Structure 1
């Protein structure tokens, strides 16, 4: 069935907004970018001119009031994600939010309440789930051919210099929500969680070792999963040789990837265990597969929206429930690191300070460098 083009809008025109605009352009037979909202009029005009956007608004509220939309992309600083997502849902527009979806589990639960009341979904950008190799890995695991997952390693070892944190909202708890645990490594360990499933316990450490931030610049976690697997998760912005790495050791094979900001099939390696060499025939790389990125996830969302229009109940990804599990892993990492004890899944609830903010009011290092109120 031929579907009309989906009308999309972008809110915020920072660096990541260009990735969204370019992805929508790549899906030009499926979607069109019809409007943009940005507080800075000069930046809004430049963005609109670059991508041929016909309508420009000074605020998200004005955009939502004026436009008939099928999807709105939130590309604003993290502190604004929850309130803007709520505004979009109340306007009846599905919303795709850059990570992190919100700054706390309490905000995630508020989003869930509005989603239930409006029936309008809020989705999170976790594009690495959609690369061909990750899809293949989950399919083989679900088929049982790899055996039980046993050990995993997840590393986001990146480098951000002091100038990077000169942007006022970066490196602050109140505006960014956290350091590399929230803003950098979250893509890698979200992919880890999408493969290994529910986690049950986290033991962690975190530190501000080098950067001029309020938040941590390094965190390390040891996680236990419901299926018995154990995993280490390292997030850093002080590592000069940058790499993003995931390794999964199953009973019958090791599957690993090393990349930086997006992987192709060529970045993955499959090593069968002795006696299981035939499994290599089931790992067939697709040299033509695109790199993991926004295009793949947005295409999947549009597919789900089209299916819904035909009466299919296919849920677009990444759903709020899935995103909450990932954000809860971040909260547990901070809570364990700052409280000095293991944290169980489901433990951070209600009035727990770590449900209201990732710092939990318990950051052990020096007084804050700066505070952002806007």
Structure 2
């Protein structure tokens, strides 16, 4: 039986939109019928590059004009929640780039709107779907690695002053935060998806070098319900760029080092003495491809085929967004912050009562 082809539009035709368009094209399951951007010239250029037949300058226009199954929201973060809510009102599923919202309160309001709609909202956290990630979660759940003990999660990237010259970057209102919100989010989302519910966060954040309103570096110590402890670093000040995750279990260390996307070759397993079978088990289950958008989009289509909420659901994304709020709350108040107890000011805005350098 022929598979359904999903009619899609992309809203926001900046840099990340190309990754979405490529994933749609490679999937064979989607057809891009419209490109939407407030800058009509940019939308037309994007449409020409990706063979998209229609161009609009507002989401409401395309929702009225076309029967869509899926809208890819690729704008700057500020309007994500509003645009996703417009999709829900029209009964169209929204696939939202990270971060899905700029505050925890926005996420909760969006989840409430979703409950009143036949459509869904999913967040792009494609690192969860790359090769190795599913294998790690599967082996951990089966107890093959033993108890999780220690983890590190490093997003040490470099973004210069020109990068932040774009008006919406480095602003609490338009981005919701700095590298904690916009850069490290993919990596610590993967960390959380592996280690499960987090319990408590102690953090620092600073504005060291960039002329922005937000932080340009943050560090957090995290405890998990499992008893594991982790360190999370998010930086845009690091000339030697690296993305690295390390999980120390009783029976093995599992490491991933890359930059913006990974393949199976970027993982390394070091067994503890007497547990060589762990490395053999890992090597026996190779996976093709990389951690780009295609893997998650394939899972989105499969879920829609079955009439199910596509991954990553708002409920799945909430612990990650709450973690970000907890990092800022701890950094700005000097207090430890527990899961489920983020201070109200930091639920409403990631900068809460205000960054100390304000």
TM-score bracket for the superposition, by shorter chain length: over 0.9
**Structure 1 CA distance for aligned equivalents of residues 245 and 15 of structure 2:** 26
Q: How does 1:20-39 map to 2 (within 5 A)?
A: 20-27=20-27, 29-39=28-38
**Structure 1 CA distance for aligned equivalents of residues 143 and 309 of structure 2:** 24
Determine if the alignment matches structure 1 residue 362 to structure 2 residue 354: yes
Determine if the alignment matches structure 1 residue 266 to structure 2 residue 260: no
Q: Which residue of 1 aligns with 2:332?
A: 338
Determine if the alignment matches structure 1 residue 14 to structure 2 residue 14: yes
1:265–1:286 contact (8 Å) kept in structure 2: no
Q: Which residue of 2 aligns with 1:230?
A: 229
Deviation at 1:49, TM superposition (A): 0.7
**Structure 2 CA distance for aligned equivalents of residues 37 and 104 of structure 1:** 25
**Structure 2 CA distance for aligned equivalents of residues 280 and 82 of structure 1:** 43
1:332–1:343 contact (8 Å) kept in structure 2: yes
Determine if the alignment matches structure 1 residue 318 to structure 2 residue 312: yes
Deviation at 1:285, TM superposition (A): 6.5
1:264–1:290 contact (8 Å) kept in structure 2: yes
Deviations 1:21-78 (A, max 9, x none): 1111111x21111111111111111111111111111101101111111110000010
Q: Which residue of 1 aligns with 2:345?
A: 353
**Structure 2 CA distance for aligned equivalents of residues 98 and 179 of structure 1:** 16
**Structure 1 CA distance for aligned equivalents of residues 339 and 287 of structure 2:** 39
Q: How does 1:96-111 map to 2 (within 5 A)?
A: 96-111=95-110
SS of residue in 2 equivalent to 1:78: coil
**Structure 1 CA distance for aligned equivalents of residues 13 and 309 of structure 2:** 28
Q: Which residue of 2 aligns with 1:163?
A: 162
Deviation at 1:132, TM superposition (A): 1.6
Deviation at 1:322, TM superposition (A): 1.2
SS of residue in 1 equivalent to 2:132: helix
Tell me which moved more, 115-124 or 148-157: 115-124
Deviation at 1:183, TM superposition (A): 0.3
**Structure 1 CA distance for aligned equivalents of residues 327 and 149 of structure 2:** 21
Q: Which residue of 2 aligns with 1:372?
A: none
Are the structure 2 counterparts of residues 285 and 95 from structure 1 closer, same or farther at C-alpha, using a change threshold of 3 Å? farther
2:4–2:305 contact (8 Å) kept in structure 1: no
SS of residue in 1 equivalent to 2:328: helix
Deviations 1:276-315 (A, max 9, x none): 111112102666611101010001100111122xxxxx44
Q: Which residue of 1 aligns with 2:177?
A: 178
Deviations 1:106-154 (A, max 9, x none): 1001101100011321100000000120010001011111111000000
**Structure 2 CA distance for aligned equivalents of residues 363 and 128 of structure 1:** 30
Unpaired runs of 5+ residues, structure 1, are 309-313, 368-374
TM-score, normalised with respect to structure 1: 0.94
**Structure 2 CA distance for aligned equivalents of residues 199 and 288 of structure 1:** 29
Q: Which residue of 2 aligns with 1:311?
A: none
Determine if the alignment matches structure 1 residue 69 to structure 2 residue 60: no
**Structure 2 CA distance for aligned equivalents of residues 288 and 226 of structure 1:** 30
SS of residue in 2 equivalent to 1:118: coil
